[in-house]
Amino acid sequence: MSETGNASIAESGGPIVASGDWTLEHIGHLAALCESLKRRVGADTRVDAARLGRIDTAGASFLLDLADKDPARIDVADDATRKLIAAVARAGNAPAAKSRRKDAGFLASVANIGAALEGFWDNTVALIGFIGLILSAFSRNALLPRRWRMTSTISHIEQTGLNALPIVALLCFLVGAVVAFLGATVLKEFGASLFTVELVGYSFLREFGVLLTAIMVAGRSGSAFTAQIGSMKAREEIDAIRTLGLEPVDVLVMPRVIALLVSMPILTLVGMLAGIIGGAAVCVLTLDISPLMFVTRLHETTTVRHFWVGMSKAPIFAFLIAAIGCLEGFKVSGSAESVGSHTTSSVVQSIFVVILIDALAAIFFMEINL
C-alpha cells in the first residue's frame, strides 16, 4: 500500500518538508495540499524533498508549483528525482506552439488553387522527364536484340490486348447504338434520317473508336501497370533489380510500353468496327435501312482519311498511358495506401491527358482540313 504524499511547514519562513508518495494516484489530495501551502510560502521558500518516497511527473509538477517553478529551490536525496524535476521544469518552460489560424475564406481558396497548380506542374515535369528516360532506353536497346525481353512483352500484349478485346468491343458496340439512336431521333425531325450513317461513321472512325478504347485501356491496363510496379516497389524488388546490375526501365517499363504500342491500334480497330456495327444494328431495326444500303452509303460518303485520323492517335495514347502508369508505380512509397492512391492518380491523369491530346488533335486536323 503506497503512502499518501504529505507536506508541512515547521515554522513560519522555514522550508516546506515533503514526504510520502507524490504520484498520480494521489493527485486530488496533493492538489488540495499544495493549494493550502501556497498561501503560506514566501518568495524564497525552499522545498525539502529528501524524505520523498515515490514520485512521478505529476508529483514533480506540484513540487515545482510550491517552489515557484524554480528547481534549484528543491532539495532532493537522489539524482534520479533531481533529473525528473529538471525535465518537468524544462517541459513547463517550453514555449507553447502557436495555434494556426484556420482560414476558410478567400485566402484558403487561393492557397488550394496554388497548391493544385504546383502539383500539376510537378507532375508535368516528372512525366516529361520520364518520357525522355523511356526514349533513351529505346535508343539504347533498339540495336541490341539480346536485350529485348520478348517473353515479358508477349505476356503483356496478351494481358493488355487480347484479354481486353471483349470489353472494348462490347462498350463500343453499345455506344455506337446509342449514337445512332440519338442521331436518328434528331435527324428524323428534318427528314434526314439517312445521314445517321455518316454520323456513326465519322464519329467512330475519327473520335469515338480511339477515345473509348484509350479510356478503357487507361482504366484497365494503366492502373494494372501502376499496381504491379507499385507492389514491387513496396516489396523492394526494384532495389533488387538494381542490385543485379539491371535497369528497372529496361526490365519493367519497356515491355509494357511496347505491348501497349502493339495492342492499342488493334483494340482501336476493333472498337471502330464494333461501334459501326452497333450503329448499323440500330439503323436496320429502327430506320428501315438495309444492311446493304448502310454499307453502300458508308462506303460512298466516308473516305479512308477519317480512318487514318483516328488510327494516328492510337500509338500516342498508348505511349502516354503506359508512361503515366509506370511513372505512378515508381512513385509508390511502400504502403498499401500509397499503391491505391497512385493507382487512382494514374487513371485520372491518363484519362485527362488522353482527352486533352484528343482535343488538341481535333483542332489540328480541322485546321489542316484533314
How do residues 172-208 score in pLDDT, each as one tens digit? 999 999 999 998 888 888 888 888 889 999 999 999 9
Q: Is 327 exposed, middle or buried (0-12, 13-18, 19+ CB in 10 A)?
A: buried
Residue 147 pLDDT greater than 50, yes or no: yes
300-318 mean pLDDT: 91
* Least confident segment among 153-157, 257-261, 301-305: 301-305
Residue 14 pLDDT greater than 90, yes or no: no
> Which has the closest alpha carbon to 278: 209, 353, 358, 369?
209
Q: What is the pLDDT of residue 101?
A: 61
CA atoms within 13 A on the CB side of 298: 24
Please report the DSSP string for 333-349 in residue order. Answer: -SSHHHHHHHHHHHHHH
Q: What is the pLDDT of residue 1?
A: 44
CATH of 6-93, one of 3.30.450, 3.30.750, 3.30.160, 1.10.3470: 3.30.750
Q: Could you tell me the pTM of the whole model?
A: 0.70
Residue ranges, comma separated, of all CATH 3.30.750 domains in the chain are 6-93
Nearest-5° angle of CA 107, CA 112, CA 113? Answer: 100
Q: What is the pLDDT of residue 189?
A: 82
Q: How far apart are CA 109 and CA 117, in angstroms?
A: 12
